[in-house]
Amino acid sequence: MLEPVLIVMYSPFLQFFIIYLAAYRHEVGRFLRPFHEHASIDDWRKVMKALGVEAILPEKGPEYGSDKRLILSLGITVILSVTITLTMVLALQKALQLPPLFRVALPILFQFIPASYLFAFISKWYFGPLPNQPRRMLLRYPRLGSRIRHLMEDD
Amino acid sequence: MIDPSHTLFFNVALKYGHLMSRPRYEPEQEFIGNLIHELEQRDPDFAWIQFIFQQVDYSRQLMMLKNELLSYKKFAETPEVNGNGEPMKRKELDSEWYRTVELRCKKIDELMSSHQVLLGIQGMWVEKSEEAVHGISGPLRSVPIELSTFQSCRDELDSLAVFTYRDPRVLLELVRRRFVTDISWYFRKYSGSRMESPSLIIAAEDLGSYVHLPVGNITEHLSSLLPPSFDEEEHNKEFTTFGVGSGLNSGDSPYAIRRKEDRSSISDLLLLPVAEPQAEIKTSKGNFYLSRMKTIPQIHQKLDAEAFSRLKHLPSLYTRSFELLYNKGRTSLLIGSADDRDLEAYKGLFISIYGGFEFVEESAVPSSMMR
């Protein structure tokens, strides 16, 4: 069985969590109420069905929120993480003179690379834009509007 | 065929999310005329703009927000003590947030002293396909929709802005005439990580800035308002001679005469707010009743102040809508309500202000949209 410290050292989970807390510190509960668009052709089909409208839709369209894209990104994250882990294991075997603290800290720090990639993807397509700073008079614009949070709330 | 690549949805909300802001369009009564004019200039394949509104009472939340702002002001003005025990000016005193506290409190007071109305502005935009424009195919331009008429609605604090979406679920909301009625979350988040509320809180007297018929000189240039079977004789007889000018019942045009008759036949009850805003908000049972104005009168002169002020009676405890449909160079105006009797009252009020015109029933999904 894997030691917990090894999971932390050689996987990007903790790093992803740290980046999330830092980026969404003004709205930590965002993952519970993410806001993003659903704009694939399948989403269009669902809407047309709900409206009871027979509409001809093209076979392909803007694939926002596509599952394929999520699987691809998770795959890239795993490949990045495994590559970094193997590189670190090999490098640390050769660098015996490194103090123990570095031998633990370096793999953890390098796992921020796949974690950052995954976070950028999840943030863009699932969690939604980063929260604004408190007490700012002006907000960024253009941005994704808040109307998207309330779509089909009662359904 | 619906082409998702050329379809965008949008809502209009406060650019900087200051809930107490009361953006208005100047000059008064020219908002809808200029909006239609802009639609004609942009000439999309199809555009649908809904103004959905309802009487609400957010006084408690507004009061809490005011208290929060005043607490911040007090905190900012309380000197902090440095390591040597000397009082020091807080850095908050130099912030824009502090400098505008009083203005925002004043806006909150104005809102609390009026009947409040929640207004949702949302819509759909279908751009002409690239084949039709340039002879090439491709997706809709990625730039957000820019409607300068909305962006010109502003006050000292904030202005309106268009927020664009590609999410087709907005279409369901449009068809069901749903808008966000619970904006408490945005009050709670105001001093924290603020977002714009999807619906605006406005004073009842501000509603006339957004919901009115096209009037003024601009109507002469609005070709999309003319009926499809436009003929010059009918035009001269029915449309161009209508004037409001010096008073609600001024002029001898057929519209002015009918307006006098209609006004006398409408009970006073319809001219008053349907109920106090403190009363319980009425919720629809899922149905929404709609009527389309058969013809849109060309009103060359603006309403006088008395007639214009009566537009503040438009909101009721039921959700009501005022909608613009632009389809292949033609504009239609729709009004709707969540209650059939309320719709009759709504129509009556419009007729009493603008004169007689006919309405025809309209379906929830505009037939022109699916053509």
Q: What is the pLDDT of residue B231?
A: 42
B-chain residues near A150 (CB < 8 A): 180, 198
DSSP string, A78-108: HHHHHHHHHHHHHHHHH-TTS-HHHHHHHHH
Count CB atoms within 10 A of the CB of residue B10: 24
Q: Is A130 at the interface with chain B, CB within 8 A?
A: no
Q: What is the pLDDT of residue A100?
A: 85
Q: Is the pLDDT of residue A91 over 50?
A: yes
d(CA A53, CA A45): 10
Name the 3-class secondary structure at A118: helix
Q: Is A28 at the interface with chain B, CB within 8 A?
A: no
Q: What is the pLDDT of residue A68?
A: 81
Long-range contacts at B64-68 (CB < 8 A, ≥ 24 apart): B64/B187, B65/B19, B65/B20, B65/B108, B65/B187, B65/B190, B66/B105, B66/B108, B66/B109, B68/B190, B68/B191
Cross-chain Cβ contact A43/B167 below 8 Å: yes
This prediction's pTM: 0.84
Q: Is A140 at the interface with chain B, CB within 8 A?
A: no
Q: What is the pLDDT of residue B370?
A: 59
Q: Which range has highest mean pLDDT (A41-45, A119-123, B229-233)?
A: A119-123
Q: Is the pLDDT of residue B121 over 60?
A: yes
ipTM over 0.90: no
- The tokens for B298 are 């060309």
B-chain residues near A139 (CB < 8 A): 15-17, 194-196
Cross-chain Cβ contact B168/A51 below 8 Å: no
- Which residue of chain A is at minimal alpha-carbon distance from B370? A55
